[in-house]
């Protein structure tokens, strides 16, 4: 019996959704081992800068975990997600506090884990809406399921933005300190982590008072959490 047009459209829609879901899982699985040559946020920056003068020059150099100072990993954990090794992608306590602050009219606080930020940086786009947040949650679940924690940190450090056109800890270390990421000191790693909330606004070199205060706070947190942070 011939199916009606609505039934066929529904069947095609379901097939398309299942194909997209399966494809996304395959891509996440592949990036467990493959270097990430470019992220969605890098593409977004390049598109936004089209026609600018001077032209945007993006700097990005993938380096494996073994060539990244553990100070850099410790700094981003201290700054962005101190429960990184405890949660499975979502910090529900931080999310609850963020919702409570929003309801009370307080300044919005960030509640995204490093895993969520990897999901967003690699596959999605900027902005806030429920559809994007749902996709972020989908990718975060599979990243946490398919990747070990060390791999999540490796990808995050290689894809985070540290300034206009500066992507990844290796490019940032060379641009701001003239050295490879493997040689970053604690103070230098903390300076990089200090600009992560708004890397197009805050400066690593000649930073303002806020970044200096945040760097000092991150250094204190690094010292506090280092003994219990399983970095190899």
Query: What's the pLDDT band for 106 if we cut at 50, 70, 90?
Result: low
- pLDDT score of 119 more than 70: yes
Query: What's the pLDDT band for 72 if we cut at 50, 70, 90?
Result: very high
Look at residue 75 in the predicted model and tell me its pLDDT: 97
- pLDDT score of 132 more than 70: yes
- Convert the pLDDT of each residue in 159-189 to its tens digit: 999 999 999 999 999 999 999 999 999 999 9
- pLDDT score of 13 more than 90: no
**Top-confidence residue, 178 or 228:** 178
Contact residues for 171 (Cβ-Cβ < 8 A; gap 6+): 59, 60, 61, 162
- pLDDT score of 1 more than 70: no
Query: What's the pLDDT band for 39 if we cut at 50, 70, 90?
Result: very high
Return d(Cα 181, Cα 152) in angstroms, integer.
17
Mean pLDDT of the chain: 89
Residues pairing with 161 in the sheet:
167
Look at residue 197 in the predicted model and tell me its pLDDT: 87
CB 72 within 8 A of CB 169: yes
Q: Count of CB atoms within 10 A of residue 134's CB? A: 9
- pLDDT score of 153 more than 90: yes
**Top-confidence residue, 12 or 58:** 58
Look at residue 10 in the predicted model and tell me its pLDDT: 75
**Top-confidence residue, 96 or 155:** 155
- CA dihedral of residues 176, 178, 181, 186 (deg, nearest 10): -70
Q: Count of CB atoms within 10 A of residue 160's CB? A: 26
């Amino acid at each position: 019996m011939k199916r009606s047009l609505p039934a066929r459209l529904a069947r095609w829609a379901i097939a398309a959704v299942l194909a997209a879901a399966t494809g996304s899982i395959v891509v996440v699985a592949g990036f467990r081992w493959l270097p990430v040559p470019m992220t969605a946020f890098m593409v977004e920056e390049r598109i936004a800068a089209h026609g600018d003068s001077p032209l945007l020059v993006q700097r990005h150099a993938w380096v494996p975990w073994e060539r990244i100072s553990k100070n850099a990993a410790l700094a981003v954990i201290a700054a962005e997600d101190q429960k990184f090794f405890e949660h499975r992608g979502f910090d529900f306590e931080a999310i609850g506090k963020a919702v409570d602050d929003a309801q009370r009219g307080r300044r919005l606080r960030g509640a995204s884990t490093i895993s969520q930020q990897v999901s967003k940086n690699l596959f999605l786009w900027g902005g806030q809406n429920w559809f994007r947040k749902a996709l972020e949650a989908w990718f975060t679940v599979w990243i946490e399921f398919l990747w070990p924690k060390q791999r999540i940190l490796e990808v995050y450090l290689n894809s985070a933005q540290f300034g206009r056109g500066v992507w990844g800890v290796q490019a940032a270390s060379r641009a701001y300190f003239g050295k490879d990421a493997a040689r970053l000191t604690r103070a230098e790693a903390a300076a990089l982590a200090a600009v992560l909330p708004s890397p197009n606004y805050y400066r690593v070199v000649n930073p303002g008072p806020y970044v200096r205060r945040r760097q000092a706070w991150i250094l204190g947190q690094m010292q506090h959490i280092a003994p219990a942070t399983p970095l190899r």
